[in-house]
Amino acid sequence: MTLGCDDCKHQIDGRFRMAGLPCPCECGGQIKAFVSPTSDAPGAWVTGGDVRRVMNALGVRGPDRSRWGHRNHYAPGERDAESMRRLVDAGLMRRDARDGVAHVYRAMPLAGELLGFGPTLMRRAFGGGS
């Protein structure tokens, strides 16, 4: 994963969740995260809004980690279409049609890793066959 500004193109060291923050050099741009999975997905520059959707899918909210990862689904609306495309290209989410609901998306383990999930959270969110 690489963090960079979409305006001045300057690269930044930091964590996935910094996507969406203003660029530190005050160029007025926003930080995005380039995520390129090991699978055959092409990779994508992920925005702050995209990261928030992944966090929402995984119930990552607030500092209390005991409440994270108890869910893993996101039902996008029409306005989410571009974001979902980037998240799939980045290997962070996939469309899940197994239950016949065509537009439910699930976060991939890569998303948990980038959000700093430890083994317990990884198991809770992605283990157990779902």
Residues at the contact surface with Zn ion, assessed by CB under 5 A: 5, 7-8, 10, 23, 25, 27, 29
Residue number, 9 or 61, with CB nearest to Zn ion = 9
Question: How many residues in the chain?
Answer: 130
What span, in angstroms and rounded, lies between the C-alpha atoms of 70 and 82? 26
CB of 10 to Zn ion, least distance (A): 3
CB of 4 to Zn ion, least distance (A): 8
Residue number, 29 or 48, with CB nearest to Zn ion = 29
- In sign, the C-alpha dihedral spanning 26, 113, 118, 127 is positive
Within 8 A by CB and 6+ apart from 98, the residues are: none
CB of 21 to Zn ion, least distance (A): 11
What span, in angstroms and rounded, lies between the C-alpha atoms of 90 and 26? 27
Residue number, 5 or 125, with CB nearest to Zn ion = 5
